[in-house]
Structure 1
Amino acid sequence: MQNPRDILQHVFGYHSFRGQQEAIVQALVNGEDALVLMPTGGGKSLCYQIPALARPGTGIVISPLIALMQDQVSALRELGVRAGFLNSTLSFPEVQATERALLAGELDLLYVAPERLIQPRTLDLLQRAPLALFAIDEAHCVAQWGHDFRADYLRLDMLHREFPEVPRIALTATADMRTREEIVERLELGAAEQFIVGFDRPNIQYRIQQKDNPRRQLLSFLKEEHPQQAGIVYCLSRKKVEQTADWLCREGFNALPYHAGLPGKLRETHQSRFLREDGVIMVATIAFGMGIDKPDVRFVAHLDLPKSVEAYYQETGRAGRDGQPATALLLYGLEDVVKLRQMMGASEGNEQFKRQEQQRLSAMLGLCEITSCRRQTLLRYFGDVMEEPCGNCDTCLIPPETWDATEAVRKALSCVYRTGQRFGATHIVDVLRGSTNEKVITQGHDKVTTYGIGQDLTADEWRTVLRQLVAAGYLDVDPAGFGGLQLTELCRPVLRGEQSVHLRRDLRTRKPTTRTARRPDADIAEADRPLWEALRACRRRLAEEHGVPPYVIFHDVTLRDMLEQRPLHEQDLLSVNGVGDSKLKRFGIEFLDVIREFDYSGSQAL
């Protein structure tokens, strides 16, 4: 059995563990089970890769991400780790070769899709092989009505029964208390030690804005703050994904669509380009993103409302894995709430599931409408505590204004009641503002007492009022109808004059001004920039030669360390963060030559 600290340094090139990594690794090395909740970019993979190398046998990694297994395995092989995978992309001879390597003890890590793992052939194979551990990645997929549910995960409880002596580790970046309990129950991890690492991603700036011409808002955001930078734009429908990607291309951006309806080969090509090329924007449904290791995603933008805080947190967490500043922008409106409520109403889930989904949506709406620090609310949802406001979200940077909306709220609620609680927001606004359109007249709503009593507010202001009333639970959306608004029990004290209501005032033109368009490497001194670009060019060439994304060769943080330390000899290069024995042997001389050339040129200039 090898020493975990030696593996960390010589294989992965890091000089110390972060946070609870060492405790998690030691638990696995000792043969104990573990449940790990760690934010994206927190170093979850090391928590099972190092124990798999330290313990005798092969570590089996169960991952739902067939499309990414090749990249994950390629990255490990560049480190000198003997890694392989079994999934449906392999030919039968390739499967046989991998199985022989497993039985011969020639693999340190084997990645397996859950549907492959539960097949009798695979289980028989594993029974005959020496196993170090089971790592169940993206463990939230076991939550039966979660945002990334995978039915095959429900059968992974058999690992405890079939392989009682093999330690198991379940890992996820996203799980509230309810999902955590479900993971423990379904995977039979009751005796596992739980490691709950803080959920905070301080480098991500969270912003949520009311929709006001979303394309114009997105275009301004990209041009002013993230030109030529990699990012992800999430949309709710496949049609919107394709339309948005086409529009961004016409606006001069390198944008690609990604959704489950595209041919598999095209999805694979687009994903590969996103990982390997600079400045690509992926426009996608939630079918894209889980397990994406690209460190330099500078923004995640949502053009539609996510249906839960878990989904929002996980999707925004794909930005800024390298620890550099990143932005999470969400644009949402009342129409998003109506659409999601209708989708939930049409769901095949039972009544308990529908109630839970409504609760999750309500929590998401609450996050959108709060006037206090968004990060504090986001972390509180996952049971994490932040004592002071973060100073890096829109509500901290520009505190929103509020106003006493009690009178306007009573007018709106009364109008919903007088028109029969069957109509959507557009019709309610028309009645309040005294519109003479055909629908108002045909329905006879020009005769109700609330007709025309709301001319003191614009149509947009009334829509803002109605949106916040839905978010606060004063109004509900009829899920079985066409988005008709209905009163809830919370309305009674307001309508009786027993309770006042303060709402936030939407100022569409205001946005945080602390972030201006700048390159991620803008902090590099002009004198160092030629060497920086030469190191990047060297990395890019090696990545193309090896058929892997550039960050698999070295992350930006490693190149920055080279820039600072200027190592001239192999032993010096080992002190650079992210350079282990294998990468030193494979790539060291290439980067040393680049640095020596610049060092020599600099000396000559002196």
Structure 2
Amino acid sequence: MKLQALKHYFGHNSFRELQEEGVDAVLSGRDLLMILPTGGGKSLVYQLPTLMMEGITIVISPLIALMQDQVAALRAQQISADMISSAQTYDEANGIIQRAYSGELKFLYLSPERLNNNSTIEILRGLNINFFVIDEAHCISQWGHEFRDDYRALGMLRSNFPHTPICAFTATSTEHVTEDILRELRLENPLLLKGKIFRKNIFISAQRRVSNGHLQLKAFLHRYKGESGIIYVSSRKKAEELSSYLNSNGYRSLAYHAGLPQHVREQNFKIFVNDKVNIMVATIAFGMGIDKSDIRFVVHMSLPKSLENYYQEIGRAGRDGEDAEALLLFNAGDIAQHKKFLEELAQSEYKEHLSQKIDTLYKYATSEVCFHQQIAAFFDDAIDECVDRCDNCLNLKEERRNITKEAQMLLSTVYKTEQNFGKNYIIDILRGSKEQKLLNNGADKLSVYGIGVHLAKKEWFVILERLLELKILLLGEFSTLKLTQEAAEILRGKKELFIKASRLEINIKEKRVKQEASYDVDTELFEQLRTLRASIAAELKVPAYIIFSDKVLKNIAAAKPHDKESMLAVSGVGEKKFEQFGEQFLESILST
């Protein structure tokens, strides 16, 4: 029954990781928290059960653009869905409510702001609600990167609807955030499903930014002519400037930021998802859950605020499962800028928490450890290896510098100061600083005082970070540096230590993504099918990927079906889609 419905409505022959367990939980009326990476298929876990159950599903979603996207996708599959938002008139909203009451709707999307008032609660009491869905559930947590007060109030759903199951979904959740979601939503005996963090179709690279990074960006984009991508920048001004620069260099881009009028933002969003431009240059205002499956790259022109932000933003690439790439351009100035903004905040208990998030991301960018492994560890997960799907693993043979001597100097200084001080103090001793605090403590009398003047302060910081990431040093209470057993081996000369030369000097290289083709695609036919898809999408006024994703078009171009039966055998083509578009695509294939 489940598999039949899966093929009929969504065209899939089998479930993906954890989807079937999630569907079973929903069908059995159990509360659910599902943590699955972007592109992992979370929406199917609640959409499929709804189509198999009586009643209406209420979906709480944080953004109007996201709700519009999801409603459009469901309608394109001839599934009845609608949304109520602040952009609608009273009469429009009332008409939607009446459709819900008459049983015409299977899905009703609401914002948390709309839900958190008594009149909406009273309206919902009159509906046959099978279950609630909380999308982007991490917004409920004060420890998360997108905390929203109106999400925190969603705990009242349990009070008002004590017998209605609640299913929460997110792509990003640390242990703290997960505990917050379970507690605040008051989930009862929930099934907790957590997928693997590893997005193996995304190649991750990081480079130290030279000047404004425009030349590095051009070298990167040269490989993605005509492909869809998002470029994140740190300010409205930079969004406008970079979009203008790209357009003058032959690319088609638009800017997106909070300073634009609402109708312009919505227009630019539609132009992008409908493939009228390839690149969106955006601030973080270009928010969660962008449901465009064929984004081939995401570039950050500077460090985001946190690893959660970064992971969610790069997750917008490759949602169709095809190869995609994430490039991070950064320098130490990004840290200073973020810290400056923090200082301007009112004093709060979260300021130190936010500061640590910034430091964590900088360590991530500068580390030699596999980028995918670092992300997994941050989200309390683990992977063995990324098989050359990141810069650090692909370039293990990059020129390396022996820093054993410098490491011994640094570790000796930690030892001689009795492991009682932090990074800056230790480096100041090595460089022979005249800081009064050092002199008062008699640091200038130590044998290690001034032995490291041959390196700049920033170089010592890089070496120190290398020792921390290898766990030769640990951070103790009040960020004091502590020696481990591995430190003793370095000090005794029993072990050598190396670092990538590029970490101690700016060394820009163009990185190539390892492309993996698992099947033979007729590229000429693929482009022909893309053209047909674009014309159908324009006629129906929906984004092209709602007709068929790039991945499905490649499946079709590889299989070259000749009739309905062979078309339905293609992964991603179901009865619903064939009824709507199958004959047109078959005609196009048979005409070649």
Fold in common (TM above 0.5)? yes
1:198-237 to structure 2, matched below 5 A, reads 198-213=196-211, 214-223=213-222, 225-237=223-235
Distance, in Å, in 2 between the alignment partners of 1:160 and 1:492 is 50
Pairing partner for 2:317 from 294, 313, 319: 319
Q: Does 1:58 align with 2:60?
A: no
Q: Does 1:27 align with 2:25?
A: yes
Size of the aligned set, in residue pairs, is 545
Deviations 1:26-60 (A, max 9, x none): 11111000000001101000011111122211011
Distance, in Å, in 1 between the alignment partners of 2:466 and 2:145 is 21
Pairing partner for 2:77 from 64, 76, 79: 79
1:322-401 to structure 2, matched below 5 A, reads 322-348=320-346, 350-351=348-349, 353-388=350-385, 390-399=387-396, 401=400
Pairing partner for 1:591 from 576, 585, 588: 585
Q: Secondary structure at the match of 2:325?
A: strand
Amino acid at match of 2:363: G
When residues 40 and 349 of structure 1 are mapped into structure 2, their CA distance, relative to the original with a 3 A threshold, is farther
Distance, in Å, in 2 between the alignment partners of 1:90 and 1:420 is 65
Q: Secondary structure at the match of 2:108?
A: strand
Deviations 1:241-273 (A, max 9, x none): 222222222222212111111111111111111
Distance, in Å, in 1 between the alignment partners of 2:39 and 2:386 is 23
Distance, in Å, in 2 between the alignment partners of 1:382 and 1:251 is 39
Distance, in Å, in 1 between the alignment partners of 2:346 and 2:82 is 38
1:280-291 to structure 2, matched below 5 A, reads 280-291=278-289
Pairing partner for 2:574 from 572, 580, 591: 580
Q: Return 305-314 or 579-588, whichever deviates more.
A: 579-588
Contact (CA 8 Å) 2:243, 2:254: kept in 1 or not? yes
Distance, in Å, in 1 between the alignment partners of 2:342 and 2:534 is 46
When residues 416 and 86 of structure 1 are mapped into structure 2, their CA distance, relative to the original with a 3 A threshold, is farther
Q: Return 141-150 or 167-176, whichever deviates more.
A: 141-150
Distance, in Å, in 1 between the alignment partners of 2:298 and 2:510 is 16
Alpha-carbon distance, 1:111 to partner: 0.9
Alpha-carbon distance, 1:330 to partner: 1.0
Alpha-carbon distance, 1:590 to partner: 1.2
1:40-439 to structure 2, matched below 5 A, reads 40-213=38-211, 214-223=213-222, 225-277=223-275, 280-348=278-346, 350-351=348-349, 353-388=350-385, 390-399=387-396, 401-404=400-403, 405-406=406-407, 413-414=428-429, 417-418=433-434
Gaps of 5+ in 2: 414-425, 438-448, 470-477, 492-496
Distance, in Å, in 2 between the alignment partners of 1:254 and 1:521 is 28
Distance, in Å, in 2 between the alignment partners of 1:557 and 1:499 is 50
Alpha-carbon distance, 1:153 to partner: 0.2
Distance, in Å, in 2 between the alignment partners of 1:573 and 1:389 is 34
When residues 129 and 227 of structure 1 are mapped into structure 2, their CA distance, relative to the original with a 3 A threshold, is same
Amino acid at match of 2:216: Q
TM-score by length of 1: 0.83
Q: Secondary structure at the match of 2:288?
A: coil
Match in the other structure for 1:480? none
Distance, in Å, in 1 between the alignment partners of 2:347 and 2:41 is 35
Alpha-carbon distance, 1:510 to partner: 5.2
Alpha-carbon distance, 1:92 to partner: 2.1
Contact (CA 8 Å) 2:271, 2:277: kept in 1 or not? no
Contact (CA 8 Å) 2:321, 2:551: kept in 1 or not? no
When residues 246 and 472 of structure 1 are mapped into structure 2, their CA distance, relative to the original with a 3 A threshold, is farther
Match in the other structure for 1:553? 547
Match in the other structure for 1:426? none
Pairing partner for 1:18 from 4, 16, 19: 16
Deviations 1:560-592 (A, max 9, x none): 222233333333322222222322222122112
Q: Secondary structure at the match of 1:207?
A: strand
Q: Secondary structure at the match of 2:299?
A: strand
Distance, in Å, in 2 between the alignment partners of 1:472 and 1:355 is 23
Contact (CA 8 Å) 1:403, 1:504: kept in 2 or not? no
Contact (CA 8 Å) 1:366, 1:472: kept in 2 or not? no
Distance, in Å, in 1 between the alignment partners of 2:389 and 2:70 is 32
Match in the other structure for 2:526? 532
Distance, in Å, in 1 between the alignment partners of 2:552 and 2:498 is 50
When residues 234 and 419 of structure 1 are mapped into structure 2, their CA distance, relative to the original with a 3 A threshold, is farther
Alpha-carbon distance, 1:221 to partner: 1.4
When residues 299 and 408 of structure 1 are mapped into structure 2, their CA distance, relative to the original with a 3 A threshold, is farther
Q: Secondary structure at the match of 2:54?
A: coil
When residues 469 and 332 of structure 1 are mapped into structure 2, their CA distance, relative to the original with a 3 A threshold, is farther
Contact (CA 8 Å) 2:205, 2:328: kept in 1 or not? yes
Alpha-carbon distance, 1:502 to partner: 6.8
Amino acid at match of 1:535: L
Alpha-carbon distance, 1:190 to partner: 5.0
Deviations 1:339-388 (A, max 9, x none): 2222223333623x223223323322222232222211211111212123
RMSD: 3.1
Distance, in Å, in 2 between the alignment partners of 1:471 and 1:161 is 51
Contact (CA 8 Å) 1:334, 1:467: kept in 2 or not? no
Distance, in Å, in 2 between the alignment partners of 1:398 and 1:534 is 37
Amino acid at match of 2:562: L
When residues 389 and 129 of structure 1 are mapped into structure 2, their CA distance, relative to the original with a 3 A threshold, is closer
Pairing partner for 1:38 from 33, 36, 55: 36
Contact (CA 8 Å) 1:233, 1:284: kept in 2 or not? yes
Q: Secondary structure at the match of 1:22?
A: helix
When residues 490 and 502 of structure 1 are mapped into structure 2, their CA distance, relative to the original with a 3 A threshold, is farther
Distance, in Å, in 2 between the alignment partners of 1:453 and 1:248 is 44
Distance, in Å, in 1 between the alignment partners of 2:251 and 2:292 is 19
Alpha-carbon distance, 1:227 to partner: 2.5
Q: Secondary structure at the match of 1:40?
A: coil
When residues 570 and 389 of structure 1 are mapped into structure 2, their CA distance, relative to the original with a 3 A threshold, is closer
Match in the other structure for 1:490? 481
Match in the other structure for 1:483? none
Distance, in Å, in 1 between the alignment partners of 2:489 and 2:578 is 72
Match in the other structure for 1:481? none
Gaps of 5+ in 1: 422-448, 475-486, 599-606
Match in the other structure for 1:604? none
Q: Does 1:505 align with 2:501?
A: yes
When residues 18 and 577 of structure 1 are mapped into structure 2, their CA distance, relative to the original with a 3 A threshold, is same
Alpha-carbon distance, 1:535 to partner: 1.4
When residues 498 and 463 of structure 1 are mapped into structure 2, their CA distance, relative to the original with a 3 A threshold, is same
Distance, in Å, in 2 between the alignment partners of 1:24 and 1:273 is 34
Amino acid at match of 1:219: K
Amino acid at match of 2:282: A
Q: Secondary structure at the match of 1:418?
A: coil
Alpha-carbon distance, 1:326 to partner: 1.3
